[in-house]
Amino acid sequence: MKHKKLLIGLVAAMTSAAAFAHHSFTATYNETETMQIEGQLVQFMFRNPHAWVHVMAPDENGEMQRWGVEWGGAGQLSGQGVTRESLKPGDTVIITGNPGRNPRDHRMRMRSLLRPSDGFGWGFEGENFD
């Protein structure tokens, strides 16, 4: 019985530590700046804790780069009308977001997304994530 209580305590401690392992957006992204990219969707990873959108778009020098755009988790996005079928490779998208602190990473934090072909969008009607 003593070992069982110890095991339960260890599992509880590890689980609570994982909940606090979430990274700081301020440490990763410059939240005082916004930027916009327009390009072709390469991959949409609809998952938790955060979904990711990968887009081929030009950088500030006009060179094509693969941008990684961090978004909310699948559970949160589902409640905001986004599903794993919402975006497909080849979609042209316009994304506005906070740039990553290291420009060489070509990384952003999603603030809004628009697919001009049909007007699908996110972030224009108060949707957000933390």
Residue 16 falls inside a structural domain: no
Q: What is the CA radius of gyration of the chain?
A: 18
Residue 102 falls inside a structural domain: yes
Q: Is residue 13 scored above 50 in pLDDT?
A: no
Q: What is the pLDDT of residues 74-96, one digit of tens each?
A: 999 999 999 999 999 999 999 99
Residue 38 falls inside a structural domain: yes
Q: What is the pLDDT of residues 33-63, one digit of tens each?
A: 999 999 999 999 999 999 999 999 999 899 9
Residue 2 falls inside a structural domain: no
Residue 37 falls inside a structural domain: yes
Longest dimension (CA), the chain: 65
pTM of the model: 0.80
Domain span at 71: 25-122
| pLDDT > 70: percent of the chain | 82
Residue 73 falls inside a structural domain: yes
Domain count, the chain: 1
CATH code for the domain of 115: 2.40.50.140
